[in-house]
């Protein structure tokens, strides 16, 4: 059972680790930006969009199979730290949406915002786009990908 970092290193070496770290940082910034717009940084809309974006970017960089393993490894680590099962299920669902976006969408930020706006992301209590996002807002570089 290889760690995500070990898997990335085995496939892409040090450049892959650097890319994965950069993607993760962008995903957190994207999540912060989305939280400022719609809220839900923990188990809500911004959390769902962050997972979608992270997996979309990982898919574009490493392919869908490796992105899926990275996402599952992350949730397994959360389980070991006492993450509630319903949070893992929510995150894995949003990861799946993000992987599909990575396979079929040009720009991850736009794709995941669109998934939010059309009700295709998952929160613990559901996500209703009462406050649809019309355009990228915030200071992150997330809109550049």
- Per-residue pLDDT of 48-96, as tens digits, reads 999 999 999 999 999 999 999 999 998 998 899 999 999 999 999 999 9
- Total domain count for the chain? 1
Tell me which DSSP letter residue 41 carries: T
pLDDT grade, residue 97 (50/70/90)?
very high
pTM for this structure? 0.87
Within a domain: 1: no
**Those residues with Cβ within 8 angstroms of residue 30's Cβ, 6 or more apart along the chain or in another chain:** 49, 50, 53, 109, 138, 140, 142
Within a domain: 106: yes
pLDDT grade, residue 142 (50/70/90)?
low
Within a domain: 90: yes
Higher pLDDT, 127 or 35: 35
pLDDT of residue 125: 77
pLDDT grade, residue 140 (50/70/90)?
low
pLDDT grade, residue 131 (50/70/90)?
low
Phi/psi class of residue 39: alpha, beta or left (left: φ > 0; alpha: ψ in -120 to 50)? left
pLDDT of residue 138: 58
Within a domain: 12: no
Find the domain containing 43 and state its range: 23-131
CA dist., res. 136 & res. 33, Å (int)? 9
Question: What is the C-alpha R_g of the chain?
Answer: 14
| CB 37 within 8 Å of CB 113 | no
| CB 59 within 8 Å of CB 98 | yes
Within a domain: 34: yes
pLDDT of residue 2: 62
For residue 69, how many other CB atoms are within 10 A of its CB? 16
Within a domain: 68: yes
**Those residues with Cβ within 8 angstroms of residue 5's Cβ, 6 or more apart along the chain or in another chain:** 17, 20
pLDDT grade, residue 145 (50/70/90)?
very low
Within a domain: 45: yes
Within a domain: 16: no
């Amino acid at each position: 059972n290889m760690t995500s970092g070990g898997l990335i290193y085995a496939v892409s070496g040090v450049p892959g680790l650097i890319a994965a770290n950069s993607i993760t940082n962008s995903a957190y910034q994207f999540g912060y930006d989305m939280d400022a717009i719609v809220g839900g940084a923990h188990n809500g809309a911004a959390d769902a969009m962050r997972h979608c974006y992270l997996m979309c970017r990982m898919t574009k960089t490493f392919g869908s199979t490796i992105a899926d393993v990275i996402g599952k490894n992350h949730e397994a680590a959360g389980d070991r730290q006492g993450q509630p099962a319903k949070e893992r299920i929510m995150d894995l669902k949003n990861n799946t949406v993000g992987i599909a976006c990575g396979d079929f969408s040009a720009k991850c930020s736009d794709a995941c915002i669109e998934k939010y706006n059309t009700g295709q992301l998952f929160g613990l209590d559901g996500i209703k786009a009462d406050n649809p996002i019309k355009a990228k807002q915030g200071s992150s570089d997330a809109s550049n990908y």
